[in-house]
């Protein structure tokens, strides 16, 4: 009974003594926060690394390393913290009790360290387990986020219950904090790449764009007030040899920006030194042209027609409601002295009533010429009303199409990559894949630039240079209608509008496949404010059932030889919508050392309104400008020419030559052979630039080799690459025709020039209303020596387009391409040893 009474007294005493929740909070804090830290930091680290390399092994290894490092760090930190507290309390006990201590009541630093490490590990194991069994990258990320979310809610709830805190608030606090940490960490690589350049050729970062604007405002107050306008801003790249010598880890060369601007009606080409904060060069009107148009120009000009009484009367006379009117598609060109001395633009209007495809509803016969700087109409031409084509059948948006399509359904498909993509993107713009490494960046004018492309020799492991820089230099689209309102439709899309600002975000799964990696672009607004172009470039691996090489042998008794290798390539893609046309640019890298460049065109035709609805209505009046492709719609014949700047550096830049390999027919004398003729190869080294001005001909065939005569194979052949043209077309315009004067780079399909860093744009630096005085033709006619020098290959890809009914209301994609292919560059087939695919390595879908 005494024992029971004592027990009851002890229980009563315990009940009367309030529990100190602050003491409980100490170990709860260590346990819950340790697990929470392990959970969030490991998941964030895995997602951050996964943004760069997406295969499951890398993510798991990163997570495990984070677990070990974090657990050790937490243990050491907790040990030091508790031991410090331990020492303080022991000292306090000695002071209060005259030297006696009760260490048994003190926390153990060792146990605290072990507990902290275990708590951290417990949290860290959650994202590791979530990722371990999911091979597809995007699904893996989703599973990690879901698992971490559940664990965060559980930890928040547990901490709240044990700590007697509000459950909802505690759980939300932990959940939001964890999500925020994962979001920030997963974007750290991207954000870091935006804020700081890592490579001499990296595009201007957002802080650099802002700094350029600040420097310009100090140089010319107009840049601050708005009277001076920025039309283009890009990195002024360092000297080539300085870039070539640079290695990762070296200090970057001084960063400079090149700015094309307008101030007080004059063109300015400014060089801004970001390191010194000064404008080091300001060239005023260096040529007769003007800088690239801005979106601000285009929008402002589109509003000018509505100010004209004469224009409004013409629209009313045609019975077109102003609510359905849109005036865009500016064009200019150069057609003589009367259009010089001011920025001139020409406009046509369209009806958008009952359709978004206003390009198919031109308001024909009414044309305007506008002074862009004064925003005043210079001239109105009204040749009388022409029937506006109907909106029926012009719709192209899937959700609004009501027509029955008599095509059997094709199931969705995608290429699966169980371990994620094989390529890596380092520091935002440096790409590594298979045996290739190259720098890629968005560009306001060219859209996309590939630089410092190197390939690793599969036999020796040597990294060898192939191309220093490649990009679309100009895109020339002349229309073949000499009539009023149409004769000036001869576009220079890169130099007048810019392929970069015209780019639209690439659409996942349709523009680019699953597992694609996207790169954003940043350009300067007319006021110098950074503008984001999201998903401007994508990178992805392509496999479409193509074969890299194969051979089967049946002539060897007792053997069964069937060797085949799948052809997998890496594609860098950029697409832009320049007015009515959409262009898709692909740079495709192959493991055999080939670079294949493809340009595809889609979008809408530039059409002309007509009174005719059927070709029978024409009788003998066959339309000069093109065929009838729908009722009241003429598809105007036109050309597309894309000129590529290809700075080939075969095993170095200083010692390359251009070799024309001619296939010459040889006639055999009677009695020599039963054959009458054969082809013989003869090689000619181009001595000067004029030797390398080449028009392609099927009946006078050549191969075109870029070689390094100082680098020989074991057989003595010079290492080289050859240009392999695809289908092509030549410009048939007279050389004195104003559009052809500006587009003189299409006078030949192939050019080779001496390297000059200022000669990059085939139509000239200032393209708008230029007179052709600064073109590739002019540079090449200087006839500089190109043998065993640093030289540049220029190739113009082209096609004539005679429209047809299948191009209405939106064009099926058409494409043309060329290849840069190794020739005696490797000692043998470089992909002989690549492994075949096996069923066991593929996912089960």
Q: Which domains does the chain have, with CATH numbers?
A: 11-186 (no CATH), 194-284 (3.10.450.40), 424-542+569-651+688-694+721-823 (2.70.98.20)
Cβ atoms of residues 649 and 823 within 8 Å: no
- What are the tokens at 738? 């104003």
Centre a 10 Å sphere on the Cβ of residue 810 and count the other Cβ atoms it contains.
Answer: 18
Cα separation of 695 and 267, whole Å? 35
Cα separation of 127 and 816, whole Å? 47
**Tokens 């002019």 -> residue:** 778
Which residues, listed in sequence order, are joined to residue 577 by a DSSP beta bridge? 582
Rounded to 5°, angle at Cα 540 from 536 and 544: 130
**Tokens 């000695």 -> residue:** 94
From 552, 529, 449, 516, select the one nearest 206 (Cα to Cα): 529
Burial class of residue 807 in the structure, from the number of CB atoms within 10 Å of its CB (0-12 exposed, 13-18 middle, 19+ buried): buried
Centre a 10 Å sphere on the Cβ of residue 189 and count the other Cβ atoms it contains.
Answer: 18
Report the SS3 class of residue 590: strand
Cα separation of 263 and 694, whole Å? 41
- What pLDDT is stored for residue 376 in this prediction? 93
Nearby residues of 435 by Cβ (< 8 Å), 6 or more positions away:
455, 456, 457, 458, 591, 593, 830
Cα separation of 41 and 36, whole Å? 8
Cβ atoms of residues 371 and 339 within 8 Å: no
For every residue of 344-358, DSSP letters joined together read EEEEEEEE-TT-S-G
- What pLDDT is stored for residue 461 in this prediction? 94
DSSP assignment letter at 458: T
- What are the tokens at 439? 């720098």
DSSP assignment letter at 497: I
Centre a 10 Å sphere on the Cβ of residue 490 and count the other Cβ atoms it contains.
Answer: 25
Cα separation of 449 and 473, whole Å? 10
Nearby residues of 308 by Cβ (< 8 Å), 6 or more positions away:
368, 377, 380
- What are the tokens at 48? 């951050």
Cα separation of 833 and 300, whole Å? 59
Burial class of residue 562 in the structure, from the number of CB atoms within 10 Å of its CB (0-12 exposed, 13-18 middle, 19+ buried): exposed
Q: Which mean pLDDT values do the consecutive 10-residue runs of the chain (845 residues) have?
A: 45 45 50 72 72 66 80 76 68 63 64 79 82 72 80 72 66 70 58 75 96 94 86 97 95 97 93 96 91 91 93 93 87 77 91 94 94 92 93 90 86 79 92 97 97 95 97 97 90 94 91 92 93 94 88 85 88 95 97 97 94 82 81 95 98 93 94 92 97 95 96 96 94 95 96 97 94 95 97 96 95 95 96 84 67
Which residues, listed in sequence order, are joined to residue 451 by a DSSP beta bridge? 439, 469
Cβ atoms of residues 159 and 165 within 8 Å: yes
- What pLDDT is stored for residue 420 in this prediction? 79
Cβ atoms of residues 589 and 595 within 8 Å: yes
Cα separation of 695 and 680, whole Å? 21
Phi, psi (rounded to 5 degrees) for 755? -60, 130
- C-alpha to C-alpha distances, 49 to 62, 268, 540, 570, 654, nearest whole angstrom: 7, 43, 18, 21, 39
Cβ atoms of residues 233 and 258 within 8 Å: yes
Cα separation of 445 and 760, whole Å? 11
- What are the tokens at 642? 């894309």
Cβ atoms of residues 764 and 775 within 8 Å: yes
DSSP assignment letter at 56: H
Q: How far is CA 401 from the centre of its chain?
A: 31
- What pLDDT is stored for residue 184 in this prediction? 63
Cβ atoms of residues 769 and 290 within 8 Å: yes
Q: Sign of dihedral through CA atoms 27, 30, 36, 42?
A: negative
Q: Describe the crossing of helices 109-132 and 56-97 by its angle, rounded to 10 degrees.
A: 160
Cα separation of 352 and 810, whole Å? 16
- C-alpha to C-alpha distances, 438 to 83, 431, 456, 727, 829, nearest whole angstrom: 53, 5, 12, 27, 22
Centre a 10 Å sphere on the Cβ of residue 118 and count the other Cβ atoms it contains.
Answer: 17
- What are the tokens at 45? 């680290």
Nearby residues of 51 by Cβ (< 8 Å), 6 or more positions away:
186, 187, 189, 190
From 817, 663, 802, 637, select the one nearest 727 (Cα to Cα): 817
From 491, 778, 537, select the one nearest 641 (Cα to Cα): 491
Centre a 10 Å sphere on the Cβ of residue 254 and count the other Cβ atoms it contains.
Answer: 14
Q: Sign of dihedral through CA atoms 604, 610, 616, 621?
A: negative
Nearby residues of 832 by Cβ (< 8 Å), 6 or more positions away:
458, 549
Which residues, listed in sequence order, are joined to residue 630 by a DSSP beta bridge? 633
- What are the tokens at 496? 């007048």
657-667 and 677-685: which strand pairing?
A: antiparallel
Residues forming the active site: 493, 581
| H runs (alpha helix) in 220-292 | 222-225, 240-245
* Cα dihedral 335→444→813→612 (10° resolution): -30
């Amino acid at each position: 009974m005494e024992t029971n009474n004592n027990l009851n007294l002890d229980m009563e005493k315990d009940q009367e003594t309030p529990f100190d929740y602050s003491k409980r909070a100490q170990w709860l804090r260590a346990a819950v926060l340790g697990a929470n830290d392990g959970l969030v930091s490991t998941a964030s680290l895995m997602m951050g690394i996964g943004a760069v390399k997406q295969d499951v092994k890398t993510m798991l290894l990163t997570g495990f390393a984070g677990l070990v490092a974090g657990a050790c760090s937490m243990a050491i930190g907790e040990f030091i913290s508790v031991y410090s507290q331990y020492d303080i309390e022991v000292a306090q006990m000695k002071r209060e009790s005259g030297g006696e201590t009760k260490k048994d009541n003190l926390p153990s630093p060792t146990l605290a360290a072990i507990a902290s490490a275990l708590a951290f590990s417990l949290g860290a194991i959650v994202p590791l387990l979530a990722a371990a069994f999911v091979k597809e990258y995007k699904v893996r990320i989703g599973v990690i986020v879901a698992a971490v979310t559940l664990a965060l809610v559980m930890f928040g709830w547990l901490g709240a219950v044990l700590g007697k805190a509000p459950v909802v608030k505690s759980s939300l606090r932990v959940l939001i904090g964890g999500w925020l940490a994962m979001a920030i960490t997963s974007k750290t690589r991207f954000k870091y790449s935006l804020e700081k350049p890592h490579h001499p050729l990296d595009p201007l970062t957002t802080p650099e764009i802002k700094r350029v604007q600040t420097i310009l405002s100090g140089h010319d107050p107009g840049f601050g007030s708005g009277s001076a306008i920025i039309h283009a801003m890009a990195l002024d790249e360092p000297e080539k040899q300085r870039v070539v010598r640079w290695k990762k880890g070296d200090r970057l060369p001084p960063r400079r920006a090149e700015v094309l601007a307008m101030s007080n009606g004059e063109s300015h080409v400014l060089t801004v030194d970001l390191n010194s904060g000064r404008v080091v060069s300001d060239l005023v009107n260096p040529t007769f042209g003007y800088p690239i148009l801005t979106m601000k120009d285009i929008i402002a000009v589109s509003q000018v027609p509505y100010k004209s009484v004469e224009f409004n009367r013409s629209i009313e006379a045609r019975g077109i409601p102003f609510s359905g009117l849109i005036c865009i598609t500016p064009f200019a060109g150069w057609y003589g002295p009367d259009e010089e001395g001011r920025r001139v633009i020409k406009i046509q209007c369209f009806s958008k009533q009952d359709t978004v495809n206003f390009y198919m509803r031109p308001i024909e016969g009414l044309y305007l010429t506008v002074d862009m700087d004064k925003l005043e109409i210079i001239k109105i031409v009204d040749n009388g009303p022409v029937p506006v084509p109907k909106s029926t059948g012009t719709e192209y948006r899937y959700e609004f199409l009501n027509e029955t399509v008599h095509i059997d359904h094709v199931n969705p498909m995608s290429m699966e990559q169980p371990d994620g993509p094989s390529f890596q993107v380092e520091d935002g713009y440096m790409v590594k894949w298979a045996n290739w490494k190259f720098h890629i960046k968005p560009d306001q004018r060219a859209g996309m630039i590939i630089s410092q492309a190197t390939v690793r020799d599969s036999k020796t492991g040597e990294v060898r240079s192939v191309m220093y820089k490649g990009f679309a230099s100009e895109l020339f689209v002349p229309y073949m209608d000499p009539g009023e309102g149409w004769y000036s439709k001869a576009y220079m899309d890169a130099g007048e509008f810019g392929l970069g600002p015209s780019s639209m975000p690439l659409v996942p799964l349709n523009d680019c496949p699953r597992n694609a990696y996207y790169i954003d672009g940043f350009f300067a607004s007319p006021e110098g404010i950074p503008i984001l172009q999201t998903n401007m470039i994508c990178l992805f691996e392509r496999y479409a059932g193509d074969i890299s090489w194969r051979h089967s042998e049946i002539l060897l008794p007792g053997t069964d030889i069937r060797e085949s290798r799948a052809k997998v390539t890496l594609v860098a893609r950029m697409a832009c919508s320049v007015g009515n046309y959409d262009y898709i640019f692909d740079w495709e890298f192959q493991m055999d050392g080939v670079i294949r460049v493809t340009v595809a065109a889609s979008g809408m035709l530039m059409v002309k309104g007509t009174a005719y609805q059927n070709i029978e209505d024409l009788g003998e009046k066959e339309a000069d400008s093109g065929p009838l492709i729908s009722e009241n719609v003429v598809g105007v014949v036109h050309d597309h020419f894309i000129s590529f700047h290809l700075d080939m550096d075969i095993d170095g830049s200083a010692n390359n030559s251009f070799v024309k390999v001619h296939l010459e027919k040889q006639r055999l004398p009677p009695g020599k052979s039963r054959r009458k003729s054969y082809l013989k190869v003869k090689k000619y080294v181009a001595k000067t630039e004029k030797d390398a001005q080449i028009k392609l001909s099927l009946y006078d065939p050549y191969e075109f080799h870029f070689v390094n005569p100082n680098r020989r194979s074991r057989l003595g052949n010079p290492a080289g690459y050859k240009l392999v043209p695809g289908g092509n077309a030549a410009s048939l315009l007279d050389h004195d025709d104003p559009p052809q004067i500006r587009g003189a780079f299409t006078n030949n399909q192939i050019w080779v020039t001496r390297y000059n860093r200022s000669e990059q744009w085939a139509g000239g630096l200032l393209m708008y209303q230029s007179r052709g005085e600064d073109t590739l033709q002019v540079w090449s006619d200087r006839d500089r020596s190109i043998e065993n020098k640093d030289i540049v290959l220029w190739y113009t890809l082209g096609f004539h387009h005679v429209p047809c009914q299948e191009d209405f209301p939106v064009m099926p994609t058409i494409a043309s391409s060329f290849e840069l292919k190794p020739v005696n560059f490797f000692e043998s087939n470089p992909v002989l040893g690549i492994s075949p695919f096996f069923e066991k390595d593929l996912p089960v879908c």
